[in-house]
A and B are shown apart, each in its own frame.
Chain A
Amino acid sequence: MELKHRNMLVQKISGSNYLVGIVLLLMLVGAQIIIPGFLGIRNVGNILKVASFIGIAAIGQTLAILIGGIDMSISNVITLVNIVTAQMMVGDNANIPLTMIVILCIGVVVGCINAFGITYFKIPPIVMTIGMGTVLQGIALLYSKGAPKGNAAPLLRHLVNEPKVFGFTTWVVVFWVVLAALVIVVLRMTAFGRRVFAIGNNRTTARFSGIRINQIIFTCYILSGVFAAITGVILTGYTGTASAEAGAQYSMNSIVAVVVGGTAITGGRGGYGGTILGVIILTILNNILTVMNIPISGVMIAQGLIIIVMVYVYGKEKAKTW
């Protein structure tokens, strides 16, 4: 009884996130040893900047995975948006409003089509979003005629790149922090959040309990499309230009972040709080690997192994966190 009580206490304090916390701590210490000045204010600001890109894209992935799905089209939305943004902005602030409207439309439409295939035709989310991703890849290539051009507006580049806030961080990081707080609050404290978890746990029970499943699924995939689109805009600000490969790693990165953050890959368990830790761990790992001159192939292998280990470890312990 005593032991049981203690276990419950540990769970209550930390959920299943304590493991992630320890990993993060170890990585910070390790990184500081390997890379002098790692924890310096400049580098921390830099890590947060890069983390915010994956972090915003991972909001959608967290939602999609929580309801028992997955979104593999995030990469392709980001690439498409990157190309469209650069081409529409052509380095002029005056083009920002119109570009943003078009970009948000892309996100909403992609999310709607994904959700429509998944709910109405009952196509498995993984296949639906992969198929959608292929279509988007083609559209990106057609739109850019294979040779992306244009560049980001100065204001956008300023917001993404200049560490003007508190002397070390960017406006985009602030935007991410605000979004993160919002997502956590919505998932934990609103009826919508509760319904997301219910659907991920058991869709039939959710339906029998009067939850409007399709509405929630549509919302989650639309949000996923929109956040991917926003990431695409931010990424354009970061690189300044367009590239046919801009978003390539983002589906995978976001899945790794979500899984490392303790969200069950089968849905219904976890949350965005864990994903944030996952995003930071992933960014630091990428940072270390880059500094150590490990090529992209090493990063890919590491990510694959991390997913398998994390899914296995979390599958073993079945703790529940709202």
Chain B
Amino acid sequence: MNQRIKRVNIQQMMQRNTHVMYMYLFLLVMVIVSGVLDPDFLSVRNINNLILSSLPIFIVSCAQMIILLMGDIDLSLGSIIGLVNVVFVMLMRPDQPFGYVTALLVALAVGTLCGFVNGFLITKLRLPSVIVTIATSNVFGGLALFACPVPGGKVHNLFSRFVMGRQGFPFPIVLMVITLVTIYLLTSRSTFGMKVRAVGGNQFAAYTTGISIARIKLTAYCLAGFLASLSAIFLTSQMRCSDATVGNSFTVNSLTVAVVGGTALSGSVGGVSGVIGGSFIIMIINNILNLINVSSFYQYVIQGLVLIFALAISSKRKK
């Protein structure tokens, strides 16, 4: 009898992760195809580039995933990235040895505050997350554009080089691993993660179990804001300038990555193991488009289609 339970346990664990397994199979196929198309694809240089280009989208998709786990959606993440980028560059003192410290701290604080504003409006005023984040997206984007109407500015050279891993310390890889592990522990192994999933799965159950829905939501939105600002700082170090609209594509892309990675828009289901694979898939698609030398405008078409197809597939699987 105990054997039977063990078998059910294993079966269920497999079933729970089928989506992620299929996704990695797909990723593998893509890697092989790319490798055949371009022998340089699997070079250290290209892999390094791939990590650098997928890190910002990976981090912000973790934020989107956490919000989706609660059954909400955050359409302001892109604008938060734009705002944080602008604030970070504005406060930067490229000529001073530690001219990045204040900027860094304030930038992280601004991103977290944006998340807090979202969470506050959603929990205290009891408004739907969709409409709140559409509205705040406009506000944050407007503030960024107000502060920085034209792209420009400079980033502290040493800081930028360090963040990009050009100072001997492989910072991008370390950041990726730290984010991966922390978000995994937070969403899949900690009490916080269970509460987030409970809020997304059944609010009545969460309430009767004594979970404070408002507090969990507020925390999760702050965390999302923090992650978005982290992503923005990395992105800024890469671009070395400020641009209020830099984050615009990240809102849709974070949704696409999360959904491709097996996160359900209906809440509760998803994990960072899917999100990291999802970010690589999106980046490799872009990479392949570059390799086969088609117009970069195809990126938009393909991103939109990938989002819609991923949702269509997961909806059909549910049936």
Contact = CB atoms under 8 A, between A and B. Distances in A.
Interface of A: 70, 117, 121-124, 126-128, 130-139, 141-142, 145-146, 252, 255, 259, 265-266, 295-305, 307-308, 311-312, 315
A252 B143 CA distance: 16
Given A266-B128, A311-B127, A121 B311 contact: yes
A146 B297 contact: yes
B136 A126 contact: no
Contacts of B142: 296-302, 304
B214 interface: no
Nearest to A265: B131
Chain B interface helix/strand/loop/mixed: helix
Contact of A252 (B138, B144, B265): B138
Nearest to B249: A134
Interface of B: 73, 75, 121, 125-128, 130-132, 134-139, 141-146, 149, 244, 251-252, 255-256, 265, 295, 297-305, 307-308, 311-312, 315-316
Contacts of A123: 265, 308, 311-312, 315
B138 A301 contact: yes
Contacts of A295: 145-146, 149
A116 B138 CA distance: 29
Given A123-B308, A266-B128, A134 B303 contact: yes
Contacts of B130: 70, 126
Contacts of B121: 308
B298 A138 contact: yes
B145 A297 contact: yes
A304 B300 contact: no
A138 B297 contact: yes
A146 B302 CA distance: 17
A121 B314 CA distance: 9
B301 A117 contact: no
Contact of B145 (A130, A135, A138, A296): A296
**Most chain B C-beta atoms within 10 Å of own C-beta, residue among A70, A117, A266, A297:** A297
A301 B305 CA distance: 31
B137 A121 contact: no
Ranked 8 nearest A-B pairs via Cβ:
A138-B300, A300-B142, A134-B304, A138-B301, A135-B304, A304-B138, A304-B139, A301-B142
Contacts of B316: 121
Contact of B125 (A121, A142, A297, A312): A312
A138 B294 CA distance: 13
Nearest to B316: A121
A317 to B, nearest CB: 14
28 contacts: A123-B265, A124-B265, A127-B265, A130-B75, A131-B304, A132-B304, A138-B297, A138-B298, A138-B303, A142-B297, A142-B298, A146-B297, A266-B128, A297-B145, A297-B149, A298-B146, A300-B139, A301-B142, A304-B136, A304-B137, A304-B138, A304-B139, A308-B136, A311-B127, A311-B132, A312-B127, A315-B125, A315-B127
A131 B303 CA distance: 8
Contacts of A265: 128, 131
A242 to B, nearest CB: 15
A133 B304 contact: yes
A127 B311 contact: yes
Contacts of A128: 308, 311
Nearest to B132: A308
A156 B138 CA distance: 32
A303 B121 CA distance: 16
**Most chain B C-beta atoms within 10 Å of own C-beta, residue among A131, A141, A299:** A131
A315 B144 CA distance: 29
A130 B255 contact: yes
Given A122-B315, A312-B127, A307 B146 contact: no
B171 to A, nearest CB: 31
